[in-house]
Amino acid sequence: MNISVVCPTLNESQNVSRLIGELKEVLQGMDYEIIIVDDDSPDRTWAVAEDLAKQNPRIRAVRRKGPRSLGWSVIEGFTIARGEVVACMDADLQHDPAILPRMLEALSHGSDLVVGSRYVCGGSVGEWRWTRRSESWLATKLAQWVVGIRICDPMSGYFLVRRTDFLHVRERLNGQGFKILLEIAANMECPQVHEIPYRFRNRIAGETKLSRRVMFGYISQLCRLSRLKTGK
């Protein structure tokens, strides 16, 4: 199998079918699987995913119970994935699946970590208001300064990596943070990173899960990762 696309979900029942439709089109001709990892959503996203999985063997649905966590959901999806390459993609259609083939190509040309990026030439955050732009700018700069990460868009939730490289760092990962790319990148040893531009789309259905709690969690994730960098 070439690629496993892992999509974490929380209350995305209105988005999942369309997401799968777009992914099927882009991945046509490849050997792939799509894994929906749902945190027991009250809107029954898991049931929608399970129905889709019954109709299509390339789709797998995971219903997690217990404490909710975006990071741990992705780690679980990557762990059970069968693809040589594992990709993480939001389920709310904000990540453009059309760049997946270019991302895969970059990996096959020697990169270790390929990131769908809003902050390289050709990429954009779309129609964000200035407040969201400023918050994202600050969070990005903090990650670059505090963790010493050399990625233009370290906050991206859209990336892919070889599964063997993921397994290599898995035991060191902490899934409590919202930003799992940052966690994986900080734990890999000098990964060759390549960023592919894309335009962040607007959320059409469902609601954002970005809350104050998530933002505070981000600060504690940065503190932990900075200690990793300094070896303390």
Binding residues for Mg ion, per CB under 5 A? 90, 92, 94
Q: How far is the CB of 23 from ligand GTP (least distance, A)?
A: 13
Q: How far is the CB of 206 from Mg ion (least distance, A)?
A: 8
Query: Between 10 and 173, whose beta carbon lies closer to ligand GTP?
Result: 10
In the list ligand GTP, Mg ion, none, the entry touching 91 (Cβ below 5 to 8 angstroms by class) is: ligand GTP
Environment class of 230 (CB within 10 Å of its CB; exposed 0-12, middle 13-18, buried 19+): exposed
List the beta bridge partners of residue 32: 3
Query: Between 98 and 167, whose beta carbon lies closer to Mg ion?
Result: 98
Separation of alpha carbons 42 and 167, rounded Å = 31
CA 35 from chain center: how many Å? 12
Query: Between 16 and 193, whose beta carbon lies closer to ligand GTP?
Result: 16
Q: How far is the CB of 203 from Mg ion (least distance, A)?
A: 5
Separation of alpha carbons 80 and 30, rounded Å = 19
Residues that bind ligand GTP (CB under 6 A): 8-10, 12, 37-39, 68-70, 73, 90-92, 94, 157, 203, 208-210
In the list Mg ion, ligand GTP, none, the entry touching 96 (Cβ below 5 to 8 angstroms by class) is: none
Q: How far is the CB of 92 from Mg ion (least distance, A)?
A: 4
